[in-house]
């Protein structure tokens, strides 16, 4: 029944992980080779992922029993519409890695490149595994791979301060992983199995009880921490601002989405069992999402450092996605799922562009970067396009999702949240006006800015490519939307509507 590509499911996870294990060995003579090696591994992974997505389109969701054991007997990998997020993830990695080749010249000595690229590959492999696994404990282990590599990637660039931000991230992340393990153990005790489908059936028989509710709450809190939602977002701004720019692009764009995909998986388990009446939880999600949007935008306005501002705007955009999921109406959920990808794309553009500017001039604050557009036209244009799309103005990808989530809000007749969504995001544009004015319409103050030259092509290529993707997806937004729609429609009956 399954096509040839279904065989590649485990290898798409294992390839980056094994690639990482080999990176130090491959790059022992010339540390710089690690960058090209990582890029090659990710390219092959992207090809495998596209094959898997093609298989998904052809035959619908499919699963793969590891070790030949039947599903609940051994571990089962399950590739469904939400795990299709693996393909854009791999593609974004393939675009970001070339940027880091030249960017790292100022960030670290050459001998520390192999472990850096090993961490990047581990991060990618961990995220791919997380999206594909169908086993609860396996989910926990993959989360650990992703989190551990993220903690280190944050601290790789700076000195003491970066280590301190990374440690804060580590403590909060470790506690949230422990909560997830605790919840997994509880479900294991209740249902005797670790396979998600089995657990869902088991829960169906048990019916709702406090243990089931507490396990759900523990999962929810754990994934909220991973997704940096409002009350537990404190670790994100420092971590993402201090990390080197390609790492910030990966963290803000994709690692944060691990929380969202995790939330979706738990939705699938709990709603499959129709165990919990989720109206109350949806409402809580909607409120948390709305508050995250406004709060993230509000804090972003007062930052002077570009990357710190971009980190806060991540919190605001995660608020979008959560608001969309919480609204539980078809359009809102479609908008939210597509925003998972669009936000990764836009945030990667912004962070890489900001990274190139910091790389060339050494400055990070708006007041120092006045008049940069004259000397770095393409990068500033990419920054402008990213700014316009992160706020969700029409010709860009960000608008498509904002439109659908707003539509969903009114469809679920939650009008006030529709208004909050539309105007909450405009808040952040106040910062972007300041940024665009500073870049384009003011005279340079420092001579580094006046004489800055455009970044070399290995850095400028990805930035320009991502910026044009933002525009293209703004107009051709239909492709991801039509892809996600069937998945959402067959998941919605679960949604506690």
Partner 1 sequence: MQPFGLDLDYVAVVVLFCVGLYMLVAKSNLLKKLLGLNVMETAVFAFIVTAGMVEGGDPPIMVAGTSAPFASPIPHAMVLTGIVVAVSVTAVALALIVQIHAHFGTIEIDELKELP
Partner 2 sequence: MRPWSLLLVLLVALPLVAGVATLPPHDAPDAPIHTQVGALYLERGVAETGMKNMVTAVLLNYRGFDTFIEVVVIFTALAAVLALPKGSAPVPKGSAPVPKGSAPVPKGSAPVGKGSSPTSPSAGAARSREDEERPEVASDVPVSPVVRFVVRLLAPFIAMFAVAMLFRGHITPGGGFQAAAVFAAIFIALGLALGQDRAARLVPVDWRPWLQGVAPLAFALVAWIGWRLTGAFLGYPIHDHTAQEAMGFVLEIGIAVGGGVILARVFLEMET
Partner 3 sequence: MEVVDVRPILAPFVSFLCAGLVFGFGRSIFWRRFFTFLAAFIKMALVLSMLPGTLQGVVYVYQFVEFTPGIGIGFRADAYGMFFSLVSSTLWVFTTIYAIGYMQGDRDRVRFFGFFALCVSTTVGVAFAENLLTFFLFYETLTICTYPLVVHAETREALRAGRIYLTYTLIGGGFALVGAVMTLNAAGTLTFAAPGILGLESGVGTLAVIFLCLIIGFGVKAAVMPLHGWLPIAMVAPTPVSALLHAVAVVKVGAFGVTRVIYNVFGVELLQQLGFATPLALLAGFTIVAASTIALTQDHLKRRLAYSTISQLSYIVLGAALLTPLAATAAVLHIANQAFAKITMFFVVGAITRTTGKKYVSEIDGIGARMPWSMAAFTIASLSFVGVPLTAGFITKWYLALGALEADAWWFVLVLIASSLLNAGYFFPILHRAYFRPAKEPWPPLEPGRHFETPKTLLIPIVICAAYVLLLGVTAEVPGMPGSVAQVAVESFFAPRGVGP
- Name the residue nearer to partner 3 (CB basis): 291 or 407: 407
Give the one entry of partner 1, partner 2, partner 3, none that residue 402 binds, where binding means its C-beta sits below a cut-off of 5 to 8 angstroms depending on kind: partner 3
Q: CB–CB of 468/345 below 8 Å? A: no
Token reading at 443: 């005279």
Q: What letter would DSSP give residue 244?
A: -
Pick from 317, 361, 375, 389: which binds partner 2 (CB under 8 A)?
361
Cβ neighbours for 101, distance < 8 A, ≥ 6 positions apart: 32, 35, 36, 458
Cβ neighbours for 297, distance < 8 A, ≥ 6 positions apart: 312, 313, 316, 424, 425, 427, 428
What's the min distance (Å) between Cβ of 441 and partner 3?
A: 5
Q: Contacts with partner 3: how many residues (CB under 8 A)?
A: 35
Decide: is 400 part of the binding site for partner 3 (CB under 8 A). Answer: yes
Contact mark string toward partner 2, 58..77, x via CB under 8 A? ------xxxxxx--xxxx--
Helix axes 33-59, 9-26, angle to 10 degrees: 180
What is the DSSP annotation of 11-62? HHHHHHHHHHHHHHHHTSS-TTHHHHHHHHHHHHHHHHHHHHHHHHHHH--E
- Name the residue nearer to partner 2 (CB basis): 134 or 418: 134
- Name the residue nearer to partner 2 (CB basis): 6 or 229: 6
Pick from 167, 445, 450, 465: which binds partner 1 (CB under 8 A)?
167
Cβ neighbours for 79, distance < 8 A, ≥ 6 positions apart: 6, 9, 52, 55, 56, 61, 62, 63, 64, 132
What's the min distance (Å) between Cβ of 169 and partner 1?
A: 10
Decide: is 73 part of the binding site for partner 1 (CB under 8 A). Answer: no
Decide: is 281 part of the binding site for partner 2 (CB under 8 A). Answer: no
Give the one entry of partner 2, partner 3, partner 1, none that residue 54 binds, where binding means its C-beta sits below a cut-off of 5 to 8 angstroms depending on kind: none
Phi, psi of 32 (to 5 degrees): -70, -20
The rounded distance, in Å, linking the Cα atoms of 441 and 431 is 15
Q: Binding segment for partner 2 among 83-91, 122-130, 280-288, 469-477 (CB under 8 A)?
A: 122-130
Decide: is 305 part of the binding site for partner 2 (CB under 8 A). Answer: yes
C-alpha torsion sign, points 447, 450, 454, 460: positive
Among residue numbers 174 through 233, which ones bind partner 1 (CB under 8 A)? 174-175, 177-178, 181-182, 185, 188-189, 194
What three-state secondary structure class fits 443? coil
Taking Cα atoms as reference points, which of 88, 100, 168, 96 lies closest to residue 127? 88
Pick from 441, 451, 468, 472: which binds partner 3 (CB under 8 A)?
441
What's the min distance (Å) between Cβ of 492 and partner 3?
A: 14
Decide: is 81 part of the binding site for partner 3 (CB under 8 A). Answer: no
Give the one entry of partner 1, partner 3, partner 2, none that residue 482 binds, where binding means its C-beta sits below a cut-off of 5 to 8 angstroms depending on kind: partner 3
Tell me how many degrees the CA angle 284-286-287 measures, rounded to the nearest 5. 65
Decide: is 66 part of the binding site for partner 1 (CB under 8 A). Answer: no
- Name the residue nearer to partner 2 (CB basis): 26 or 84: 26
Q: Binding segment for partner 2 among 55-63, 203-211, 376-384, 476-484 (CB under 8 A)?
A: 203-211
Phi, psi of 176 (to 5 degrees): -70, -35
Give the one entry of partner 3, partner 1, partner 2, none that residue 400 binds, where binding means its C-beta sits below a cut-off of 5 to 8 angstroms depending on kind: partner 3
Token reading at 243: 């990390």
- Name the residue nearer to partner 3 (CB basis): 88 or 418: 418
Q: What letter would DSSP give residue 252?
A: I
What is the DSSP annotation of 397-430? HHHHHHHHHHHHHHHTT-HHHHHHHHHHHHHHHH
What's the min distance (Å) between Cβ of 438 and partner 3?
A: 10
For residue 194, what is the enclosing H or E element? none
Q: Contacts with partner 1: how many residues (CB under 8 A)?
A: 26
Q: Binding segment for partner 3 among 12-20, 141-149, 346-354, 405-413 (CB under 8 A)?
A: 405-413
CB atoms within 10 A of CB 108: 15
- Name the residue nearer to partner 2 (CB basis): 261 or 336: 261
Give the one entry of partner 2, partner 1, partner 3, none that residue 475 binds, where binding means its C-beta sits below a cut-off of 5 to 8 angstroms depending on kind: partner 3
Pick from 164, 287, 403, 440: which binds partner 1 (CB under 8 A)?
164
Partnered with residue 77 across adjacent β-strands are 64, 133
The rounded distance, in Å, linking the Cα atoms of 258 and 17 is 17
Q: Binding segment for partner 2 among 121-129, 423-431, 434-442, 466-474 (CB under 8 A)?
A: 121-129
The rounded distance, in Å, linking the Cα atoms of 197 and 272 is 8
Can you give the length of the chain in residues? 497
- Name the residue nearer to partner 2 (CB basis): 43 or 108: 108
The number of CA neighbours under 13 Å toward the Cβ of 200 is: 15
Pick from 4, 159, 443, 453: which binds partner 1 (CB under 8 A)?
159
Q: Which residue has the tokens 């972003």?
A: 300
Q: Which residues bind partner 1 (CB under 8 A)?
A: 137, 141, 144, 148, 151-152, 155, 159-161, 163-164, 166-167, 170-171, 174-175, 177-178, 181-182, 185, 188-189, 194
Q: Which residues bind partner 3 (CB under 8 A)?
A: 331, 334, 388, 393-395, 399-400, 402-403, 406-407, 409-411, 415, 418-419, 422-423, 426, 429, 433, 436-437, 440-442, 475-478, 481-482, 485
């Amino acid at each position: 029944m399954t096509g040839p590509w279904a065989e590649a499911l485990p290898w798409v996870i294992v390839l980056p992980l094994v690639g990482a294990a080999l990176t130090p060995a491959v790059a022992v003579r010339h540390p710089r080779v690690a960058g090209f090696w990582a890029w090659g591994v990710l390219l092959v992974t992207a090809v495998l992922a596209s094959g898997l997505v093609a298989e998904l389109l052809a035959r619908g969701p499919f699963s793969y029993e590891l070790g030949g054991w039947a599903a609940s007997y051994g571990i089962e990998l399950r590739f469904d519409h939400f795990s299709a997020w693996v393909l854009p993830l791999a593609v974004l990695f393939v675009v970001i890695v070339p940027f880091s080749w030249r960017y790292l010249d100022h960030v670290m000595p050459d001998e520390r490149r192999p472990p850096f690229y090993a961490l990047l590959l581990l991060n990618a492999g961990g995220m791919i595994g997380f999206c594909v696994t169908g086993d609860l404990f396996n989910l926990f282990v993959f989360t650990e791979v992703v989190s551990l590599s993220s903690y280190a990637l944050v601290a790789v660039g700076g000195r003491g301060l970066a280590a301190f931000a990374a440690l804060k991230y580590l403590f909060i992340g470790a506690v949230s992983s422990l909560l997830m393990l605790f919840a997994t153990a509880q479900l294991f005790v209740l249902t005797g199995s670790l396979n998600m489908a089995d657990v869902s059936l088991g829960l169906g028989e048990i019916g709702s009880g406090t243990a089931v509710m507490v396990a759900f709450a523990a999962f929810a809190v754990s994934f909220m921490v991973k997704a940096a939602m409002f009350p537990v977002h404190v670790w994100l701004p420092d971590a993402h601002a201090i990390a080197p720019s390609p790492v910030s692009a990966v963290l803000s764009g994709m690692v944060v989405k691990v929380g969202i995909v995790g939330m979706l998986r738990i939705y699938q388990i709990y709603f499959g069992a129709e165990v919990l009446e989720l109206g109350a939880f949806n409402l809580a999600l909607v409120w948390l999402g709305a508050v995250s949007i406004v709060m993230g935008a509000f804090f972003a306005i007062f930052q002077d450092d570009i990357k710190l501002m971009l980190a806060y705007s991540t919190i605001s955009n995660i608020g979008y996605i959560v608001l969309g999921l919480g609204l539980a109406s078809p359009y809102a959920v479609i908008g939210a799922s597509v925003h998972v990808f669009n936000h990764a794309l836009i945030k990667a553009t912004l962070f890489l562009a900001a990274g190139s500017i910091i790389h060339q001039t050494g400055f990070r604050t708006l007041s120092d970067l006045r008049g940069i557009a004259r000397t770095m036209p393409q990068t500033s244009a990419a920054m402008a396009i990213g700014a316009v799309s992160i706020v969700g103005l029409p010709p860009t990808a960000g608008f498509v999702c904002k439109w659908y989530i707003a539509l969903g809000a009114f469809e679920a007749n939650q009008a006030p949240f529709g208004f909050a969504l539309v105007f909450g995001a405009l808040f952040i544009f106040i910062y972007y006006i300041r940024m665009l004015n500073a870049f384009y319409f003011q005279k340079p103050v420092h001579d580094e800015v006046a004489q800055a030259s455009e970044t070399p092509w290995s850095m400028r290529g990805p930035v320009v490519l991502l910026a044009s993707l933002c525009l293209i997806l703004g107009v051709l937004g239909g492709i991801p939307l039509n892809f996600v729609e069937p998945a959402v429609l067959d998941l919605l009956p679960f949604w506690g509507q």
